[in-house]
Amino acid sequence: MLEIGGRPVVHHVMEIYARQGFTDFVLATGYKGDVIARWAASLSEGWAVECVDTGVDADTGDRVRACAERIGEPFMATYGDGLGNVDVAAVARRHREHEGTATVTVVPLPSQYGTIDTDGDGRVTAFREKPVLRDHWINAGFMAFDAEALLATTGSSLERDVLATLGAQRKLYVYRHDGFWKSMDTHKEVVDLNALASEEGHPWLNVPTG
């Protein structure tokens, strides 16, 4: 519910989907779930939104698993704290095309540190301020699942248990996104996203149109 540009970040996440025709949402709630439920009930966009209380102490895998039987398949799943202009229809297509049971959107790793390039003699040839490391890809949090992927795996953590197991079983595939994406894990990232909302007009909402 932390606000970006005057609206809860989950609203921005939902709008990324809604602008691409995905308007049925299930919110897996826990801590302050009543606050989220009241907010969801106040939405005026006409989206179908259901809040499911998955427990205060539930981990990510348990939360998604608790919702899996309430929705059709395949279904999309997304964290509530990362914003990107991801082509979610393309994620869904990618998921339908392969033989696995889950698809995760990955983005090039944004380094929080500057890097230094050197030549063979150890002489500095370039400084790169917080580069994007395109040889390394990370989970951007926009995923697609068959219900089987959640119901046929164990473990409470989506990342450490469910996705790791599916990867070991060769049932997990990726969709590569090379557009805008930014996480909201630190206070600085909240400040940065608010600045982007103010100065650049919500770049995570510049989603594909077809």
pLDDT digits (tens, 9 = 90+) for 133-178: 677 898 999 999 998 888 888 889 999 999 999 999 999 999 999 8
* Four-point Cα dihedral 58, 62, 66, 71, nearest 10: 130
Q: Domain spans of the chain?
A: 3-102+140-205
Residue-level pLDDT at 186: 83
Residue-level pLDDT at 119: 78
User: In this model, does residue 210 exceed pLDDT 60?
Assistant: no
Residue-level pLDDT at 67: 87
Residue-level pLDDT at 93: 94
Superfamily for the 3-102+140-205 domain: Spore Coat Polysaccharide Biosynthesis Protein SpsA; Chain A (3.90.550.10)
Identity of the highest mean pLDDT range in 34-43, 109-118, 149-158: 34-43
Distance CA 11, CA 54 (A): 20
Distance CA 164, CA 206 (A): 31
Residue-level pLDDT at 208: 66
Contact between 75 and 122 (Cβ < 8 Å): no
Distance CA 63, CA 174 (A): 22
